[in-house]
Structure 1
């Protein structure tokens, strides 16, 4: 076999990755003892430096897979470097915050191996693996002021367009596997549109429509259309320089006084299929991890239950996944104490709590129901399982659950007077209540006739009740005023002539007073 062909096979083939016992741990996690990972090996320099041009002069460089994930990331860098004052400014900013670098790189240790694997599988630049440093500092629970969420900071609409489910039970924009898949799909789509990774990154931050308009504007003006040539908001102008600065620090940490935590070049977590609904507390106990650590790997979950129909897989540290499967096989108790209940009709929280056998306070707390709100029909509530509700949550609820509210109506007891010829039914219609309710409130027959002025008690919404009281008060006040003045008021009313005389007298007095004042 010719040397070049043999070398080509070595470069594109898979290599066995040696386990590294010094990887970061999550509780009892020790990934180093597990299965090897397939890794695409790329040369660290031009082929001529590997001895291809003249094998007798230069020896072939070692292609052993790196034991350290950072080195594997460095080997995959392929974007053109950006040189600018903004890059140097961001380098200085990061380098002056070693604690911040330490925190976000340690946080990344849970997720980076999976991202690196995905990027190598797609054969795209490894710089993209560093993008969550810029977007969220690798915090999957991060939420921006514009409601972008997760490590990759997807907006709700963009996330939905890439099949990231968002409902009251889960938010896939935070899911490690789903959001990484969606982000890399989106970035590849943007690169295919703009043909340039820097422009693709600008579009990821600013929106592809905005970038396209900026390019069109420069084209019309006869100006270049590269990333540094476009007129962009400052956030987008700083976006690629931030990524370049992080890339430079990862490439040469010693040059910036940075210390990177050791991350072994092997999987941190394993994917487990869930066939039944399970409480988060049960999963944590069976796997030997804390609930906080479990949620760090499964950040899309919003509630204390994993619904198999909506979240069929969970992530666990590699060793703990083995422990979980062993303990689950031996487990005999219940797996879930929660389920979802679809509210059949609009009702108060107190009524809903009574229906499901929970206290109103607990139902509000677990479902985050605001005060003075009713739960609308069709909403899904997380409730305790019991004999009537002991089934796993169906797929259509797990995937599409919503929770809607409407303001709670406050009823007020109000006494009104019947009009001449009015019946219970007519009076009920006047105030928008049912005749049966009026009859029940006043111990009358629903068909009863009412005497003029007869007092009738109604339970009305506060706004309607106040209006009814105001009308009654106005009528009563007017009647009293008429009764008090009677015909005297009419007799004492001044005629037009009297009004004119009075007006003339007033003017004369005012004029006289003015003259006196002037003299003084």
Structure 2
């Protein structure tokens, strides 16, 4: 039996060597080394067998991340280097969310790093009626690195920190105790199932994307420009005036509102939050214009009262148009409040409906109602 296993391992190693150049093989070994994984993992039977399947399923995630989020990937790589953590952590974010800042999981994890609200708040991210900093790619990246560093300190190895990021440190501790080892091949054993299939595949997916990103032949076969996708980021953080319209800010920067929102997905409404000391991001090519012409004092203050809302449960036959008409509101207001980009609704889906204020009705201010509102918004 032992001879058969050795034969298969030799066969896979031989096949692997035929496919990959020495240069690419060395890059792969370096990736494993960066994550504290032994080099012999590259010839692990289970990993080799899963590679082709993972490539076919997740290669497009890498291509989309490079092409559609060219402003985010360089920023993340820069922060990872600055914080002296493995650059392969970028692919953790790709696996988690495809780098979509507005990504929301079924469990209500949000942003490119897929933080649950309690975890995000413990890491210093602001989540309230006005902003959700899980959608801020810069601030959430620093939070994710901080979290991963703590996990690395707890478990001693980067691959263990990555596994814990997915399953939680409690479950990983339990798995290591059951296995009697923190060896990667042991923890990923598909027969023993010390970890769930999702967690076992989580690290494999990250490695697959990291390998593909370092495979010049693969990138060239998809799009030659992808080889140089990691360019410098093109935005900068500046102070934002409080309680002003995003539309007015965009107009004063001479950019479209859609462009401004793309750089600032953490704002929940079409205005900046009240109070001093908050921030926004602007394109790098607008910095000189901002310094010379932007005058916050000239921007009109707007009402930052958060509208009263209710939860509506979608029924059979409902559409955005029908729900909006029945509640005497616009489709756009429903889309904006719920961050809905498509027309499709699911039966029993919960959506937030703004309630039109009646004349002489008591107005709830944002300050008094922010806690209740935050519970309604999908966090």
- The answer for the alignment partner of 1:285 in structure 2 is 251
Kept in 2, the 8 Å contact 1:274–1:308? The answer is: no
Q: Point out the more displaced range, 181-190 or 365-374.
A: 365-374
Aligned partner of residue 81 in structure 2, secondary structure: helix
Matches within 5 A, 1:428-443: none
Distance change >3 Å, CA 232–CA 282, structure 1 → 2: same
The answer (yes or no) to whether the contact 1:310–1:399 under 8 Å persists in 2 is no
- Work out which of the residue numbers 336, 345, 363 in structure 1 matches 2:301: 336
Tell me: CA distance 1:360–1:326, structure 2 relative to 1, closer, same or farther (3 Å): farther
Which one of 154, 178, 182 corresponds to residue 115 of structure 2? 154
Match of 1:227 among 181, 184, 190: 184
2:63 matches 1:93: no
SS in 2 for 1:315: strand
Give CA-to-partner distance per residue, 1:53-79, whole Å, 9 cap, x none.
Answer: xxxxxxxxxxxxxxxxxx9xx999822
**Larger helix percent:** 2
**Counterparts of 1:37-52 in structure 2 under 5 Å?**
none
For residues 248 and 356 of structure 2, what CA distance do their matches in structure 1 show? Answer: 33
8 Å CA contact 1:379, 1:404 repeated in 2:
no
1:273 aligns with 2:239: yes
> Displacement, 1:118?
1.9
Q: Tell me if structure 1 keeps the 8 A contact 2:234–2:285.
A: no
Conservation of the 8 A alpha-carbon contact between 2:129 and 2:374: no
Q: Which residue of 2 aligns with 1:243?
A: 206
CA distance in 2, matches of 1:252, 1:218: 34
The two structures have a TM-score, normalised by structure 1, of: 0.50
Note the alpha carbon deviations across 1:428-483, whole angstroms, 9 max, x for none: xxxxxxxxxxxxxxxxxxxxxxxxxxxxxxxxxxxxxxxxxxxxxxxxxxxxxxxx
TM-score, normalised via structure 2 length: 0.68
Kept in 2, the 8 Å contact 1:190–1:203? The answer is: yes
- Alpha-carbon distance between aligned partners in 1 of 2:214 and 2:354, rounded to the nearest angstrom: 53
CA separation of 1:78 and 1:258: change in aligned 2, threshold 3 A:
farther
Q: Distance in 1 between matches of 2:177 and 2:355?
A: 51
Distance 1:235 1:367, change over 3 A: closer
Deviation at 1:127, TM superposition (A): 0.7
Q: What corresponds to 2:292 in structure 1?
A: 326
| Contact preservation (8 Å) 1:165, 1:399 | no
- 1:440: which partner in 2? none
Query: Deviation at 1:306?
Result: 1.2
> Is 1:314 aligned to residue 280 of structure 2?
yes
Taking a change above 3 Å as real, the CA distance of residues 249 and 399 of structure 1, as seen in their structure-2 partners, is farther
Shift of residue 378 of structure 1?
10
In structure 2, the CA distance between the partners of 1:168 and 1:140, relative to structure 1 (3 Å rule), is same
Deviations along 1:121-170, whole A, 9 cap, x unmatched?
22121111222111111111000001000011001111111121212211
With a CA cutoff of 8 Å and minimum separation of 6, indicate the structure with the bigger relative contact order.
2
The unaligned stretches of length 5 or more in structure 2 are: 1-22, 188-193, 309-326, 339-351
1:258 matches 2:222: yes
Hey, what's the Cα distance between the residues in 2 that align with 1:238 and 1:378? Answer: 51
- 2:255 is paired with a residue whose SS is coil
CA contact (8 A) 1:167 1:400 kept: yes
Distance 2:138 2:156 in 1: 26
**Deviation of 1:398 (Å):** 11
SS at match of 1:163: coil
Matched residue SS, 1:337: coil
- State the SS of the aligned residue for 2:135: coil
Higher strand share: 1
1:227 & 1:311 partners in 2: Cα distance?
Answer: 45
Q: Report the Cα distance in structure 1 between the residues aligned to 2:277 and 2:201, rounded to whole angstroms.
A: 37
* Alpha-carbon contact 1:379-1:402 (below 8 Å) kept: no
The 3-state SS of whatever aligns with 1:339 is coil
Relative to structure 1, is the Cα distance of residues 187 and 296 closer, same or farther in structure 2, using a 3 angstrom cutoff?
Answer: same
* Greater Rg by CA: 1
Report the CA distance shift for 1:101/1:334 in structure 2 as closer, same or farther (over 3 A): same
- Cα shift at 1:286: 1.7
Q: Tell me which residue corresponds to 1:78.
A: 34
| Aligned counterparts of 1:261 and 1:94: Cα–Cα separation in 2 | 18
Which residue number corresponds to residue 126 of structure 1?
87
Structure 1 residues 300 and 76, CA gap change in structure 2 (3 angstroms): farther
Distance 1:174 1:405 in 2: 17
Q: Distance in 2 between matches of 1:301 and 1:399?
A: 17
Superposed, 1:363-442 pairs within 5 Å as 370=353, 380-381=365-366, 397=367, 401-403=371-373
Q: 2:165 aligns with which of 204, 220, 223?
A: 204
SS at match of 2:294: helix
Cα offset, 1:202, TM superposition: 0.8
SS of the residue corresponding to residue 300 of structure 1 reads coil
For residue 102 of structure 2, give the secondary structure of its aligned residue in structure 1. coil
2:278 and 2:374 map into 1 onto residues whose CA distance is 26
Cα deviation, residue 311, structure 1:
6.7
| Structure 1 position 107 matched with structure 2 position 68 | yes
